[in-house]
Amino acid sequence: MSQGVFRFFDLLESRQIDYLLVGGIALLNYIEGRNTQDIGFIITRVDVSKMPEVKLTEENRDFARGRYEE
């Protein structure tokens, strides 16, 4: 994993944001060798607003997609 991923987890912890890790990164705990470029989280919209470092690129009633660093 890149240093940006570790910084993102540090950001979540420092802002005391609860989250659920889902998708490919979560599967790495169970399936060795899976390669993924994105990280899936379930986070409340209120908590996303606590992270201006995350730039939302897509959002609707049920889903949002954003970018953190590169």
**Mean pLDDT of the 15-38 span:** 75
Q: For residue 48, what pLDDT band results from cuts at 50, 70 and 90?
A: very high
67 has which bridge partners? 55
Q: For residue 1, what pLDDT band results from cuts at 50, 70 and 90?
A: low
Polymer length of the chain: 70
pTM, two decimal places: 0.73
Q: Taking a C-beta distance cutoff of 8 angstroms, is the pair 25, 34 a contact?
A: no
Structure tokens at 21: 């890790």
**Mean pLDDT of the 33-44 span:** 77
Range of the structural domain that residue 18 is part of: 3-68
Q: Taking a C-beta distance cutoff of 8 angstroms, is the pair 19, 4 a contact?
A: no
Domains of the chain: total: 1
